[in-house]
Structure 1
Amino acid sequence: MRKLSVRAVQKLTCKKRDAWWTVLLVDPVATRMLCWLARFRFVTPNRVTWAALFVGLGSAGLFLRGDRMSLIIGAALYHLSFILDCIDGKLARLKGNGSVFGGWLDYVFDRIRVLFCALALMGGQYLRTHEAYFLLAALVVVFLDMLRYVDALQIYKMRMSMRTKIEKVTAERKAAEAKAAAEQAAKTEQFEQTQRLLRARQVQQGLQARHQTPQSRPAPQQAQPAAGAEPKVVFMEDLLRENPGIEADVLKQHAGTGEVVDLHAQFRGRFPWYTRVRQALLRSRIRPHLISGIEFQMFIFIVGPLIGQILWTTAVSAVLLGLFELVIMYKFWLSTRDFTRVMDDLAPAPQTVGTVADHLFAGRHRGRVPAEPLPPADVEERFPAPQPYEDPGFHPYPQPEPEPYQQPQAGYTYVSPLGSYVPADHQATQPIPVQVVQRVEQPWTEGDGRLR
């Protein structure tokens, strides 16, 4: 592989936007290491991922010791592990040998590294100080790291689902419009063909069609889309990501023939300053999500051990991460409202939603009783009997009531629930004879051990 410059490697491998810790403290080192590692063929992205895991486990071993020097060296090893974790993806993009399994391996090893380092760091401090707060801090770190990445994956999945639904509904609407235009064009063509036949027949008969038959003006033919053209939906989020220095209104005007869908209109409308801050950060490839999972890990496993304030650093990082996660959830909630609005515009709901079907008002039991009695003919006309399909539970005629139960008279027999004929004066129960047993005291005698 020919030698590449650092600037070329950065342009080929670095993301368009990334965490500020990665942009400022990782990419300058990772790109230079990548220029050297890319020369060797045996260096593959998966092997770099394994190396990052082993270095991270070594950092966890030093964290477990808990002394000052071990914490500093462990923090340096953790940063090196994170640099290697970034290099594997850059190497895959540079050589083009990335794989789905490699992406899964990278994600799983990241979670394993965070788990072991959190337990080792907080466990080592607990063994030295015997303060239970460190055990609670370990649980908080593991839970927030899991919540952050699970929430990110779920929100990404929901956003892709919303995009897919919008594209599907747009395609269906465009297809329906094209079908209606084709039907209208066919009707127009049929009308014109009929007019041509009439004019030809009139000419053959020697008549002037202009004076004999009034000509109808054909309906204007609608413009039909090109045969190979497909409906295209453009999302404002993609336009802003590709053009970070341009306003949303300008991008919407110059979007071309595609339909622009904005799923973050309410958020930008409520917080107009967010667009300016976002544009300023994206010029330096820094994403607006300033406290993400990366910064959360770096503050706990690097900044905390270096300054010797592990517990306080963990608490502050947890609070900041929680606040930013709440902002992301709020933004996603507003995005779902924008999605509902867009879907209503693309596929409006029918006007009969929420009303009662007409056939439920039929039947005399549904009508209003008039103030004065009506003749029988008018009653049958105004209040017709309901049909079976209209109200199956309505019975227009009175049903026979069951006969009441009669107590049998003395001297007669009746059928008991058991099915046998029993005289009426038969006693259902008989008194149970009680035998009185008198207790006799027997003396206990020594002998063969038996009661005499």
Structure 2
Amino acid sequence: MPRVKVTLQEIRERTYKPVDAWWTVLLVDPLAARLVRLVAPYRWITPNVLTLVASIFGFGAAACFASGERGALVAGGVLFHISFVVDCMDGKIARLNGTGTMFGQWLDFVLDRVRIFFIALALFGGQFARTGNTAYLWLMAMAIFLDLFRYLNGAQMAKVRRAMKDQLNAYRLPSASEPDADDETADDLTGPAGGGSLKSRIGETLRRNRIRTHLFSGIEYEMTVFIIAPITGLIFPVTIAAGAGLLTFELFLIYKLFRTCQRFPGRLAAARAAYDEHAAERVTSSV
């Protein structure tokens, strides 16, 4: 017997991220939350089951893309969006029911990457087979490279930020309220909250609606290439525009990280000096 259904409000409070990609907030979460409410009482519907279901829809999208026909491209775009919705559901179910596992995280990551690879292969390979235009093969290589690059780049930047944060925390005083090292390299293009500038107001409005100010991340890139491009039939120009947008934002984040790394030795030295001074004062006061 299924358990009593949870409310949508409970799902929002327990599973929504504080900020997320605008595509997820506006076009995925409203549907995913309602589907989670339907399936959450059935404990056999685990995050791993949903990950596999998302992969099935994804490979269905790849099959449609491979044909290269106009109607099939539209169907493929719709199936890809459904795949993404189900893929978002697995994390929500894991947080809601406490059924997430380390293996599930690995499975989700690996199948995501495999699914995207074969979908790209099918979309651009299908267009090459239909038209004989080798430019689609170059476009496929670009799309796969950029998707892989943003994943590797994001993971490595997070690793560097985490290392800086750990070093600063080693000298963090109990009453210190200094921002973490990764605060300066977060994907926030509008600066810190507060202030009366137009940029600050836009940032505050986005954050208030759970939308992060990194407006063209990997999610928007995939959605643009594998939903908007095939549905509109403008595969070549839309993919090029999406690649340019993703690369621009990634380069901006790399620049932000570079600036933070330049300032980090000074911040670390100041934190160490403050920590040593505090320790000396405690020794003096205890004598």
User: Which residue is equivalent to 2:30?
Assistant: 28
Unaligned runs of 5+ in 1: 171-230, 233-256, 349-452
User: Which residue is equivalent to 1:64?
Assistant: 66
Match status 1:277 vs 2:279: no
- Whether the aligned pair in 1 keeps the contact of 2:11 and 2:37 (CA below 8 Å) is yes
Residue 258 of structure 1: CA displacement? 2.5
Residue 22 of structure 1: CA displacement? 0.4
Kindly report which structure 2 residues correspond to 1:229-248, keeping only aligned pairs within 5 A, or say none: 231-232=173-174
Residue 132 of structure 1: CA displacement? 1.0
Deviations 1:340-386 (A, max 9, x none): 221121336xxxxxxxxxxxxxxxxxxxxxxxxxxxxxxxxxxxxxx
TM-score w.r.t. length of structure 1: 0.56
User: Which residue is equivalent to 2:234?
Assistant: 309
Q: Which has the higher contact order (CA 8 A, sep 6+)?
A: 2
Residue 273 of structure 1: CA displacement? 5.9
User: Which residue is equivalent to 1:88?
Assistant: 90
Match status 1:327 vs 2:245: no
* Equivalent of residue 131 in structure 2, options 129, 143, 168: 129
User: Which residue is equivalent to 2:285?
Assistant: none
Change (3 A) 1:265 1:317: closer
* Equivalent of residue 223 in structure 2, options 298, 306, 310: 298
Match status 1:258 vs 2:176: yes
**Identity level (%):** 39
* Equivalent of residue 264 in structure 2, options 333, 339, 355: 339
Look up the equivalent residue of 2:244 and give its one-letter code: V
- Tell me, in whole angstroms, the C-alpha distance in 2 between the residues paired with 1:103 and 1:262: 26
Match status 1:114 vs 2:116: yes
- Tell me, in whole angstroms, the C-alpha distance in 2 between the residues paired with 1:280 and 1:132: 44
- Whether the aligned pair in 1 keeps the contact of 2:165 and 2:180 (CA below 8 Å) is no
Aligned residue pairs, count: 263
- Whether the aligned pair in 1 keeps the contact of 2:184 and 2:256 (CA below 8 Å) is no
Residue 265 of structure 1: CA displacement? 6.4
- Tell me, in whole angstroms, the C-alpha distance in 2 between the residues paired with 1:301 and 1:85: 15
Unaligned runs of 5+ in 2: 274-287
User: Which residue is equivalent to 1:73?
Assistant: 75
User: Which residue is equivalent to 1:14?
Assistant: 16
- Whether the aligned pair in 1 keeps the contact of 2:57 and 2:82 (CA below 8 Å) is yes
- Tell me, in whole angstroms, the C-alpha distance in 1 between the residues paired with 2:86 and 2:184: 38
More helix by share: 2
- Whether the aligned pair in 2 keeps the contact of 1:261 and 1:342 (CA below 8 Å) is no
Residue 162 of structure 1: CA displacement? 0.4
- Whether the aligned pair in 2 keeps the contact of 1:9 and 1:31 (CA below 8 Å) is yes
- RMSD (Å) for aligned C-alpha atoms: 2.0
Change (3 A) 1:288 1:88: same
Kindly report which structure 2 residues correspond to 1:151-230, keeping only aligned pairs within 5 A, or say none: 151-170=153-172
- Whether the aligned pair in 2 keeps the contact of 1:265 and 1:338 (CA below 8 Å) is no
User: Which residue is equivalent to 2:279?
Assistant: none
Residue 7 of structure 1: CA displacement? 2.2
Look up the equivalent residue of 2:8 and give its one-letter code: V
* Equivalent of residue 3 in structure 1, options 2, 5, 10: 5
- Tell me, in whole angstroms, the C-alpha distance in 2 between the residues paired with 1:302 and 1:77: 9
Change (3 A) 1:283 1:89: same
- Tell me, in whole angstroms, the C-alpha distance in 2 between the residues paired with 1:131 and 1:95: 49
Residue 274 of structure 1: CA displacement? 4.9
- Tell me, in whole angstroms, the C-alpha distance in 2 between the residues paired with 1:310 and 1:28: 28
- Whether the aligned pair in 1 keeps the contact of 2:59 and 2:115 (CA below 8 Å) is yes
SS in 1 for 2:41: coil
- Tell me, in whole angstroms, the C-alpha distance in 2 between the residues paired with 1:33 and 1:346: 48
Change (3 A) 1:69 1:96: same
User: Which residue is equivalent to 1:366?
Assistant: none
- Whether the aligned pair in 1 keeps the contact of 2:77 and 2:230 (CA below 8 Å) is yes
- Tell me, in whole angstroms, the C-alpha distance in 1 between the residues paired with 2:238 and 2:184: 36
